[in-house]
Amino acid sequence: MFKVLKSYFKNQLKAGINWYIDKHLSPYIKEYISQKYLHEQIKNVVLNQYLVFGDPNRLQLSKTCVVNNALFNLSSGNIYIGEYVFFGHNVSLITGSHDYHKFGKERMVGFPKEGNDIIVEEGAWIASNVTVLGPCKIGKHSVVAAGAVVKNDVPSYHVVAGVPAKTVKKIESNK
């Protein structure tokens, strides 16, 4: 008899809890994890947050630049981003480097502390999935095409593309 009563009350308790959750909590849970909410969280976390590896004091971003979810590696130099510069998504600016002549832990932990600065001048457009390796300067109003790997300076008013990036066009300026 005790087992029957125990089973009955256990089932009643489960049913009551399930009813309460369905009636009172489900609308809030559904709203909380709605697609709109998830999209907003993804946008805020992934698309609008850049990552800094190294000393953040070595990074200078102008107030007018847009860098989205870029990666700034400041291990071996400073990075300066000028006025009205804008990035596509997944852009990596890397000052750090390792010596391939070294092996094991020595290769892993040994890297220069200075000398690989990256400067991106006013109005440059760095498209999505670009990698910029310091030291280099990307000139005013230049364009780096999507997926390019920049290893050398980019002159002002030029479009570069490819791996490694090379000039594909000169931009005629009205100025």
Active-site amino acid positions: 98
Burial of 20 (0-12, 13-18, 19+ CB in 10 A): exposed
Residues 6+ apart with CB under 8 A from 72: 50, 51, 52, 53, 54, 59, 79, 93
Residue 72 in contact with residue 87, Cβ under 8 Å?
A: no
Q: DSSP labels for 47-63?
A: IS--EEES-GGGEEE-T
Return the ∠ at Cα 119 (arms to 118 and 122), rounded to 5°: 155
For residues 149 and 12, what is the distance between their CA atoms, to the nearest angstrom?
65
For 123, the token pair is 């109005």
- Which residue, 120, 128, 50, is CA-closest to 87? 128
